[in-house]
Structure 1
Amino acid sequence: MREVFQQELREVQDRLVEISTLVGDSIENATRAFNESDVALAETVIEDDRKIDALAAELDELAITILARQQPVARDLRIVVSALRISASLERMGDMAEHIAQLARYRFPEKVVPKGLRSTFREMGALDVEIARKLTELLATQDPAIAEHIRNEDDKVDALHLAVFDKVLGETWKGETVDTVDATLASRYHERFADHAVSIAKKVLYLATGDWVQPNS
């Protein structure tokens, strides 16, 4: 029975890595669709979010079944409970990618934001993609150094998020109301995507150490 239980725990980890990989693909495609006004790619992201949602639901059912049947304790219990919470965060990251893609679809064939903010959003999108790929690596390895890297990249996303707000609230901003709303929403989606990754990184560190600590700032 113990061997079966360990196989189930490995399956939980494998499924988290699978979902995280799909989330990484989604944010990469979503940011490309957003920056290049690619409506076909945006539609792909929106469709793929259903797959992420389904896989997250299946993982949750597996974790609940393990809790009911195996009644794990100590670190094993932490693994299963953390998997449920990580699954929820991954699902939300998929939603953020979908929201970014939806903005691209709504504004097609125009670009979502004015020219003066496009380089900022390209940089923010590239950071989100990097964070997503590192998150998949973290889930596979539980390497604390990767958690630290994710936190550092999130700080850069936060700084760009603030720069967007400074821009749209500044006296030199010439955008229409719809430009202001789109830029604000898009920036928030990018920022929340990275925040969920940091939340997962904290949970992985908890699994690795047993202590609820944040990666160093």
Structure 2
Amino acid sequence: MRDAYQEQMSALNTVLGQMVEEVGRAMEMATRSLLEADLELAERVISDHDAIAEQSVEAEDLAFKLMALQAPVAGDLRSIVSGFQLVSEIDRMGALALHVAKVARRRHPAHVLPEEVAGYFEEMGRLAVELAHNAHRVLESQDYHDALSLMDDDDAMDDLHRHLFTVMMDREWAHGVSAAVDVTLLGRYYERYADHAVLIARRVVFQATGKTPEQLLEAS
């Protein structure tokens, strides 16, 4: 019985890891489509999103089977409940990459980003992909120390997001309301993407220890 549980839990974690890699790849392509006004890349992100949705269904099915067939208690139950929550976080990351690609497609053949902010989004895209890779590593290792470290990794994303507003509020902004709206929405998409990566880390901390990060810090 215990061996069956471990095998099924391992299968769930494998699917979750694959999902994180997919949403990282999706954000990488979406960012390139945004920076290069590349319609083909944007369309690829949009069409590939169905595969991420299918993986979400697969992961949820695995979690339901664990819940129904293994009668989990204590730590096992905590792991399964965390699995459901992780599916949701990763799925939202994929949806945010999809939103970025759709903005790039909607404005094609024009570039969405004014030159003043393109560099910000290039860096935000790099950070987003790095966070996805780190989230995958944490899911595989189940090391709560790693997870706690990842939670600090979105500070740079928050700084970039704040700086975007200083650029748009500058009197020399000459790109109109439409461009400002696009930049505001896109900045929010990247910020939320990073937030969900951090929430994955929080879930792993709870899954591994039964405590929130704040409780661990208070105890240390």
Q: How does 1:175-194 map to 2 (within 5 A)?
A: 175-194=175-194
Q: 2:153 is paired with a residue of what secondary structure?
A: helix
Tell me by how many angstroms 1:145 deviates: 4.2
Q: State the match for 1:37 in structure 2.
A: 37
Corresponding position of 1:21: 21
Q: Which amino acid aligns with 2:90?
A: L
Measured on the aligned residues, the alpha-carbon RMSD in Å equals: 1.5
Residues 36, 89 of structure 1: CA spacing in aligned structure 2 closer, same or farther, 3 A cutoff? same
Cα distance in 2 for partners of 1:25, 1:52 equals: 11
Percent sequence identity over matched residues?
A: 38
SS for the counterpart of 2:152 is helix
- Provide the residue aligned with 1:195 in structure 2: 195
Structure 1 residue 151: deviation in Å? Answer: 2.4
Counterpart-to-counterpart distance in 2, 1:72 and 1:138: 23
Aligned to 1:143: 143
Provide, for residues 105-157 of structure 1, a one-character-per-residue CA deviation record: whole Å limited to 9, x for no partner. Answer: 11111111100001111111111011111111111112334324432321110
Partner residue in 2 for 1:174: 174
Q: Which amino acid aligns with 2:155?
A: D
| 2:151 aligned counterpart, secondary structure | helix
2:119 equivalent in structure 1: 119
Alignment of 1:45-194 (within 5 A): 45-194=45-194
CA distance in 1, matches of 2:170, 2:78: 47
C-alpha separation in 1, matches of 2:157 and 2:108: 25
Alpha-carbon distance in structure 2 between the residues aligned to 1:67 and 1:166: 49
**How much does 1:91 deviate?**
0.4
Q: How far off its partner does 1:93 sit?
A: 0.1
Q: Report the CA distance between 1:174 and its aligned residue.
A: 1.4
Aligned residues: 216
Alpha-carbon separation, structure 2, partners of 1:169 and 1:53 = 38
Q: Deviations over 1:9-56 (max 9, x none)?
A: 111111111111111111111111111111101111111111111111
TM-score (norm 2): 0.93
Unaligned runs of 5+ in 2: none
Alpha-carbon distance in 2 for matches of 1:156, 1:166: 16
Which runs of 4 or more aligned residues in structure 1 lie more than 2 Å from their structure 2 counterparts after TM superposition?
Answer: 143-153, 169-172
Larger mean CA deviation between 164-173 and 182-191 belongs to: 164-173
Match of 1:173, SS state, is coil
**TM-score of the aligned structures, taking structure 1 as reference length:** 0.95
In the other structure, the counterpart of 1:10 is 10
Point out where structure 1 has 5 or more consecutive residues left out of the alignment: none
Q: Distance in 1 between matches of 2:149 and 2:128?
A: 12
Distance 2:83 2:142 in 1: 13
CA distance, structure 2, for counterparts of residue 16 and residue 110 of structure 1: 36
Tell me, yes or no, if the aligned pair for 2:34 and 2:113 is still in contact at 8 Å. Answer: no
The DSSP-based 3-state class of the residue aligned with 1:72 is coil
1:213 aligns with 2:201: no
Q: Quick one: which amino acid aligns to residue 66 of structure 2?
A: I
